Homo-oligomer: A and B are copies of this chain.
Amino acid sequence: MINTIEKQSGKSFTLRKGDLLTVIDPKGQQVSDMVLFNCHDTNEKISAGKSMDFEETILLTTGNYLWSNRSQKMMKIIEDTNGRNDFLLAPCSPETFSIMYKHDGYHPSCLENLYKNLKPFNIDLDQIPTAFNIFMNVQFHSSGKLSVLPPTTKPGDYITFEAQMDLIVCLTACSAEDSNGGSFKPIQYTIKKTA
């Protein structure tokens, strides 16, 4: 079954250890922020700092693991047809749009969509960590300077993860103009149960 996350929204679900999650960009040029929590203790969660440290790279793709703040493997990337993801930048939030975009008034954001969809699991706003930004194309210069370009994904590009522990997963279809080539599209995902 293919699940659809409508544009500028999010969904959460659980995986058992060994399950396969495939995240698909059906139209191309669309980012999906993903956060992970240990199903049995939500104080354990995905850590960008631990993942980049243990994997010794900024750019995680096929063969790399996503690690937790407790130095445990949470997911392995099994396949990645696009190959460009980001782990540097925090989920877009209301302040992203007021401070960086100089936007007045309400704007949907990944942080809101993560928070709303994680509420049933009793996860607070302050607990939401830096996400693994699937398909996000953040370029970095040797000076350190960062720039956000449109994703390089074509329609149908996908990334597959294998759960390394029982997980709560939350995915978004990202709401930031610059991250998605100026238009908002859905994200799709499939889950392959192994137990």
A50 to B88, CA, bound (A): 9
Q: A70-B126, A71-B95 are in contact. Are A90 and B50 (CB under 8 A)?
A: yes
Interface: A113 (CB within 8 A): no
With a cutoff of 8 Å between Cβ atoms, the chain B residues found around residue A14 in the complex are none
Interface: A89 (CB within 8 A): yes
Give the residue name and chain of the B residue nearest to A69 (CB): B126
Interface: A99 (CB within 8 A): yes
Q: Are A88 and B52 in contact (CB under 8 A)?
A: yes
A175 to chain B minimum Cβ distance, whole angstroms, is: 14
Which residues A64-91 have CB closer than 8 A to chain B?
69-71, 88-91
Q: Are B59 and A143 in contact (CB under 8 A)?
A: yes
Give the oligomeric copy count: 2
With a cutoff of 8 Å between Cβ atoms, the chain B residues found around residue A129 in the complex are 49
Interface: A47 (CB within 8 A): yes
Interface: A54 (CB within 8 A): yes
A50 to B56, CA, bound (A): 21
A130 to B91, CA, bound (A): 16
Q: Are A145 and B96 in contact (CB under 8 A)?
A: no
With a cutoff of 8 Å between Cβ atoms, the chain B residues found around residue A47 in the complex are 90, 130
Interface: A4 (CB within 8 A): no
Q: Are A49 and B130 in contact (CB under 8 A)?
A: yes
Q: A54-B100, A126-B70 are in contact. Are A49 and B88 (CB under 8 A)?
A: yes
Q: Are B57 and A71 in contact (CB under 8 A)?
A: no
A174 to chain B minimum Cβ distance, whole angstroms, is: 13
Q: Which 3 A-B pairs have the closest CB atoms?
A: A59-B144, A49-B130, A49-B90
